[in-house]
Amino acid sequence: MTPLQPGDPSRISGYRLLGRLGSGGMGHVYLGQTSDGRKVAVKVIRPEFAADPEFRARFRREASAMMAVSSRYTVKVVGADPDGEPAWLASEYVDASALDAAVHKRGPLPVAGVFRLAAGLAEALDTIHRAGLTHRDLKPSNVLLGRDGPRVIDFGLAVGDHSSGVTRTGIVVGTPSYMSPEQIGGVQVGPKSDVYSLGAVLTFAAVGRAPHGDGPVQEVMLRILHQQPNLAGIDDSLLPMIEACLVKDPALRPASSHVLHVLRTLPQDTPRKPAAPPAPEVPPTQPAPAQPASEAPATVPAFKQRIVRTFPPGKHR
């Protein structure tokens, strides 16, 4: 957090602002406090963007999308006024680093950590998709690494299922390194696009780089459209799942619900409590019991056999 700057408001609605959490081209995010001492993150849009009817509609859509999703791995909206002056949105405050900052500071996550991250993100996406939405901007900076699991944030690009990957003005929306091929191509974008982004985010978490690298936007987009991802260095136990998520044809990618089911049915090779028995195998035709992402197995040797059976190598290219 940095101090408030000259011109920053001291209050937004009933929230007292304590400092800046971040700034972007569209506005600022402040740390706010309620009258009873609870901390919240308050996003305030710049006046010049709030004056644009198309942007105002997008911000209204973001507030609606966040309110429609209820998951332990997304942040909850506690207040919003998309039509206010200024336009603002307040959500629960998560005291955590974003995935990109954590990896840049400490390096890639251990294999077990990537599995825990995958389980939390898959559950968040499954909840988002069940609400009839597509996030469209899942990337490392939009994933907070909370103590009790990850949080997916920033629903500014979220839309109903099967919307185009372009805006009304023809601009491709999203972050190039983590966009799906169909999102780049401007064709219909649905939940499977988020699954591709999931694979890209897990690649970053595992090896510290996006699957098609960085660089000039057009070069990255061309690599996503026409080249296979660079998955060198990813642990063999993670590779089949990430490969399946990164298939270029969305019809051949698994749904977020399927990825979540596989992760939930992992054998508990090393239970966290020695007295607890291992989790039983769950046949794919039966619903899996809910399991928090933070309770994903500490070791994962059995996962490779399960994931290979579910996502056979070479079938998704």
Distances (CA, A) of 145 to 76, 107, 281: 16, 14, 29
Residue keyed to tokens 């406090």: 33
All domains of the chain in start order, with CATH: 11-92 (3.30.200.20), 99-310 (1.10.510.10)
Q: For residue 30, give the H/E element and its range.
A: strand 27-33
Question: Which pTM was predicted?
Answer: 0.79
pLDDT at position 268, please? 52
Residue 37's pLDDT is 94
**Cβ count within 10 A of residue 286:** 9
Phi first, then psi, for residue 79 (nearest 5°) are 180, 155
At 224 the three-state DSSP class reads helix
Tell me, what's the pLDDT at 160?
61
Positive or negative, the CA dihedral 304, 309, 313, 317 is negative
Contact 25/6 with Cβ under 8 angstroms?
no
Q: How many CB atoms lie within 10 A of CB 231?
A: 16
C-alpha 196/C-alpha 199 separation (Å) is 5
E strand or H helix at 164: strand 163-164
Measured N-to-C along each axis, helices 191-207 and 99-106 cross at an angle, to the nearest 10 degrees, of 20
Q: What is the mean pLDDT of each run of 10 residues along the chain (317 residues)?
A: 92 95 84 95 88 85 83 90 91 93 97 95 95 92 94 78 45 77 91 97 98 94 96 95 96 96 72 35 42 40 52 49
Is residue 43 marked as binding? yes
Rounded to whole angstroms, what are the CA distances from 293 to 73, 94, 111, 296?
A: 9, 17, 14, 5
What are phi and psi for residue 2, nearest 5 degrees? -115, 160
SS3 breakdown of the chain: % helix, strand, coil, rounded to 5?
35, 20, 45
Burial label for 304, CB within 10 Å (0-12, 13-18, 19+), is: middle
Query: Closest Cα partner for 136 from 196, 68, 194?
Result: 194
**Cα separation of 308 and 152, whole Å?**
27
Q: Do residues 304 and 237 make contact, with C-beta atoms less than 8 angstroms apart?
A: yes
Percent of the chain scoring above 90 in pLDDT:
58
At 284 the pLDDT is 44
Give the model's pLDDT for residue 26: 78
Q: Are 225 and 181 in contact (CB under 8 A)?
A: yes
Which member of 36, 83, 137, 161 is catalytic?
Answer: 137
**Residue 148: active-site member:** no
